Chain A
Amino acid sequence: MTSELISLTAAETASKVASGEVSAVEVANAHLDRIGAVDERVHAFLYVDREGALAAADAVDKARAAGEQLSPLAGVPLALKDVMTQKGIPTTCGSKILEGWRPPYDATVTARLKAAGVVILGKTNMDEFAMGSSTEHSAYGPTHNPWDLDRIPGGSGGGSAAAVAAFEAPLAIGTDTGGSIRQPAAVTGTVGVKPTYGAVSRYGLVALASSLDQAGPCSRTVLDAALLQSVIAGHDPMDSTSVTDPVPDVVGAALRADVKGLKIGIVRELGGEGYQAGVRQRFDEAVTILEGLGAEIVEVSCPHFPYALAAYYLILPSECSSNLAKFDGVRFGIRVGEGDGDPSIEQVMGRTRAAGFGDETIRRIMLGTYALSAGYYDAYYGQAQKVRTLIQRDFAAAFAQADVLISPTAPTTAFKLGEKLDDPLAMYLNDVATIPANLAGIPGMSLPVGLAPEDGLPVGLQIMAPALADDRLYNVGAALEAALLQTWGHPILQEAPSL
């Protein structure tokens, strides 16, 4: 029973809970047991809220017994990235500086999940403050890829992706600043969506780079992602950058799954040199499938994409240097070095930040401080904002020729833990295909398209759509997913070694 419950999709679980076939408490227990059995090796979770999860599940069961109308994801377990606040539950952002902090408030996403009867199992591991592509920059140790425990699960949301891939939760929340939902999805054989910027409230999401951050769903199927997005999306007055447009019918789109007559653009600048052969092979096969489904494939050019990475690594550190200034040991989190001599608050802040932040975080704060300082602002931050305009123009031109754009999600499959840890620039290259969407604020999805022949590891395909047209991602993604399932005869995660 337990193994059956954990392998259900979110949609299946919700319908079984709603019909009374299983109780939400049984479902929660099955997942808590799974976490107990495998998480010591995967290390997807930083905190498991057994009591809270069981209480939430029990409330769903009681509501059902009382004849109340259940929301579409009621009773479905979920893993929450530790960058999202949850009242009374430790929230660390993968950083030592927040060790022991229990926020006095819920993020809007958290509140919406609770209101929908989603059962939050706990908080997932991540690169410190979401900076990284491997989850190795967590102060609490790396997460391991369920496909190969010696490999990275992607990042920064490696914990959320690994939890879903390891059947510890059917759903997870991730956040994507430059690919932190999509790249982990790609390397773990799962589905991850970065919605349109502003589609999901950022209130309670501990900011890395405010103009780039966006929370979104992680799941094993496209439909499950759609169900989760429809729960968390929608305008929030607490987030002034949140869009007021109605949430597109992503669930309807995932159910439609029809690409006939759709124009799909392949971005010439994403997918050539620097992309692993097996990644390109699976991508090409997916293109053939889409063509077979009736889509018209066109090639588009986005000439400024080669500059996206550089612009990103100026904008992100700049915003992050300011966003992370509040971590100073005064109002929350740890305080370091107060007892050493008779230090001033200035010294204590400096010591707290030096001891509380990891290497990569310090590097990016320094980089951002440099890029914003007098005399360098125009050459760095100012120029990067102009490149951002050029990227937006590239997308606008490309979307004039195609309904959606596609590319490989990441240049390679999962690499070995430690392989790129000492080479920041090599690490940054993992996000080369995902970053343009963040700079332009448009939505993107990654879904698995098979295993690379040379290493047997999952490969992800990225779909991008114009701002606010998130439904197109789900339509195309679901169509491709259905065709691939038919080819494989089973979900791809069944090929992962058992844990």
Chain B
Amino acid sequence: MSTSTADAVVPYDEVIAEFDPVLGLEVHVELGTNTKMFCGCPTEFGAEPNTQVCPVCLGLPGSMPAVNATAVESAIRIGLALNCKIATWCRFARKNYFYPDMPKNFQTSQYDEPICYDGYLDVDVETDEGMKTFRVGIERAHMEEDTGKTSHQGGATGRIHGADYSLVDYNRAGIPLIEIVTKTIEGTGKYAPEVARAYVTALREILRGLGVSDVKMEQGSLRCDANVSLRPSPDAKLGTRTETKNVNSLRSIERAVRYEMTRQAAVLRAGGTIIQETRHWHEDTGITTSGREKSDAEDYRYFPEPDLVPIAPDPAWVEKLRSELPENPAVYQARLQAAWGISDFDMMAVVRSGALDLVAETVALGADQAAARKWWVGELTRIANDRAVELTELPITPADVARVEALVGEGALNDKLARQVIEGVLAGEGSPDEVVAARGLAVVSDDGPLLEAIDAALAESPDVAEKIRSGKVAAAGAIVGAVMKATRGQADAGRVRELLLERLGVSE
């Protein structure tokens, strides 16, 4: 049962002083295939309820599954990208348990014969001693199917408890999932929350690079369950773990792991024991609450799926897929970082904001790397956060940003005008050039009006003019400012300064 009262917690540095954390992460990825895992129904997000269903994914009597070839290929590619071994022979199995969102009352999954196993992923985390690489072992990556979606009616919260009844939509039932399970992650010490976040971030980049999923955590196409346990010291035996579900953003992963560590520490410190259970993460309050207890009575009665035949990937096919893998994101990042000549810290900022591909594309279109980073990691990330959307979902492309920068380079825009152009593009006013034209934002480049404005400004402040003439060039800023104000920012400040100094016959 969920509780409304928050549990006791221990300050984080005290947790670290007394305990050694151990992690295990399970990530479910919804593949972006055209059709479901075992039937030809489409997988589009947001369709009307129960319109993307057929006898197979509804589990109607008599129906039979047929494996999606592309899903198998995606699974193998994911495994290869995670340095896994690919099974030469494996099968689907049935995981038997009753639940109304699961049409057959068993999930067709893989059990003791996963298609990918024994891999790893290296992730970088900033530590007190600088950037450090942690190797996260991958236990397995296997294929399975998603469940339907249940909405709870009546009751106060729309939550399962207290609801009067529930409604089930099976559109999502049968969408291909890859479940990626880590080995136990030890030796992270106080960086456990950061390692967890860095792992999911790196995994998401890999999956995005492979093009196998849209990896949208907020839409549930990438879901993470975090197993956390504490033990008194790294050589003690593993403590009882809890499994926190519903962690649907990168930030939440870090927070949820940290919270769970502080909660468990409080229980243990008080002489209590950790119950092996599922816990639910609450984004709003930043806490986890108790879900279902994992009892020993849980018995899934796995057995090989008799309606499907084994999968024995041809080694030649696997090698072909391996040779076609995109560059590993870590290698790719290192290459870009070197090309751009930026610090680890700056690179980290790009990666963490999810802007890597966008920046790279913008640079490839001719923009300066610093300018491209300034826009994507600064201004646009801030706007995306405000709007609570992914950076990629903003209605602006690397080509738009590159064009704005090109206009700045030509002197047609200054920084202030460039911001207005970006704003116009985001507001749907068209391309940068269209925004410039429609809003009349071009820099005043004809010297005539500028000279007029300069003369007017000099007449306004003869004392300042005198200072400049006498060699105090620093005072020029005031006149330039006045000119910029008079031209409502549409002048090129550099040019104004040049003309001013020329007019007064001084040089820098």
Report which A residues bind B (CB closer than 8 A).
84-85, 91, 93, 98, 101, 103-105, 107, 202-207, 209-211, 237-241, 318-319, 321-322, 325-328, 330-332, 345-346, 349, 369, 372-374, 377, 381
Contacts and interface: CB of A to CB of B under 8 A. Distances in A.
9 contacts: A103-B55, A103-B61, A105-B62, A207-B61, A207-B62, A238-B64, A321-B96, A373-B299, A373-B301
A240 to B, nearest CB: 5
Contacts of A372: 96, 301-303
A459 B54 CA distance: 44
B200 to A, nearest CB: 31
A210 B62 CA distance: 10
B17 interface: no
A410 B5 CA distance: 68
A203 B55 CA distance: 10
B307 A207 contact: yes
B98 A325 contact: yes
A203 B62 CA distance: 6
A374 B299 contact: yes
Contact of B63 (A101, A203, A319): A203
- Which of B103, B105, B106, B306 has the most A CB atoms < 10 Å from its CB? B306
Contacts of A105: 54-55, 60, 62-63
B306 A210 contact: yes
A93 to B, nearest CB: 7
A100 to B, nearest CB: 13
Interface string B45-81: 0000000001100111111111100000000000000
A238 B301 contact: no
B109 to A, nearest CB: 13
A237 B306 contact: no
B61 A98 contact: yes
A325 B63 contact: no
B96 A210 contact: no
B106 A85 contact: no
A330 B62 contact: no
Given A331-B59, A373-B301, A374-B299, A202 B98 contact: no
B10 to A, nearest CB: 36
A326 B65 CA distance: 14
A104 B60 contact: yes
A240 B62 contact: no
B342 to A, nearest CB: 52
B59 A326 contact: yes
- Which of B64, B94, B103, B299 has the most A CB atoms < 10 Å from its CB? B64
Contact of B105 (A93, A209, A238, A326): A326
Interface string B76-110: 00000000000000000010101010011110000
Contacts of B309: 240-241
Contacts of B98: 325, 328, 346, 349
A374 B95 CA distance: 12
Given A241-B307, A322-B303, A326-B105, 17 more contacts: A85-B61, A93-B61, A104-B55, A104-B60, A105-B54, A203-B64, A204-B63, A205-B62, A207-B61, A210-B306, A325-B98, A328-B100, A328-B105, A330-B168, A373-B299, A374-B301, A377-B303
B97 to A, nearest CB: 9
B311 to A, nearest CB: 11
B385 interface: no
A327 B104 CA distance: 8
A202 B64 contact: yes
A93 B308 CA distance: 23
A352 to B, nearest CB: 11
Contacts of B151: none
Contacts of B303: 318-319, 322, 372, 377, 381
Contacts of A322: 94, 96, 106, 301, 303
A115 B301 CA distance: 40
B64 A240 contact: yes
Contacts of A101: 61
Contacts of B67: 240
B154 to A, nearest CB: 12
A494 B58 CA distance: 47
Contacts of B58: 331
B461 interface: no
B168 to A, nearest CB: 7
Contacts of B105: 325-326, 328
B308 A332 contact: no
A240 B66 contact: yes
Contact of B60 (A103, A239, A325): A103
B166 interface: yes
A374 B302 CA distance: 9
Contact of A238 (B60, B66, B106): B66
Contact of B61 (A238, A239, A332, A345): A332
Contacts of A107: 62
Nearest to A129: B61
B62 A206 contact: yes
User: 7 tightest A-B contacts by CB?
Assistant: A325-B105, A210-B306, A372-B301, A211-B306, A204-B62, A206-B61, A326-B59
Contact of A326 (B54, B104, B306): B104
A157 to B, nearest CB: 16
A383 B275 CA distance: 36
A325 B59 CA distance: 10
Contacts of B54: 105
Contacts of A325: 96, 98, 104-106
Contacts of B306: 209-211, 241, 319
A424 B373 CA distance: 76
A207 B104 CA distance: 12
A84 B61 CA distance: 9
A205 B308 CA distance: 15
A103 B62 contact: yes
A404 to B, nearest CB: 27
B101 to A, nearest CB: 10
A88 to B, nearest CB: 14
- Which of A211, A328, A331, A345 has the most B CB atoms < 10 Å from its CB? A331
A369 B106 CA distance: 13
Given A240-B308, A326-B104, A85 B66 contact: no
- Which of A98, A369, A374, A381 has the most B CB atoms < 10 Å from its CB? A374
Contacts of A239: 64, 66
Contacts of A211: 306
Nearest to A202: B64
A381 B299 CA distance: 15
B296 to A, nearest CB: 9
Contacts of B59: 326, 331
A326 B62 contact: no
A99 B67 CA distance: 31
Interface string B160-183: 000000101000000000000000
B100 A240 contact: no
Nearest to A381: B303
Interface in B125-149: none
A408 B264 CA distance: 68
A372 B58 CA distance: 25
A205 B309 CA distance: 18
A334 to B, nearest CB: 13
B35 to A, nearest CB: 13
A321 B302 CA distance: 12
A370 to B, nearest CB: 9
A91 B301 contact: no
A85 B60 CA distance: 10
A322 B67 CA distance: 19
Contacts of A377: 301, 303
A251 to B, nearest CB: 28
Contacts of A202: 64
B301 A369 contact: yes
A377 to B, nearest CB: 7
B52 to A, nearest CB: 15
A206 B100 CA distance: 20
Nearest to B56: A238
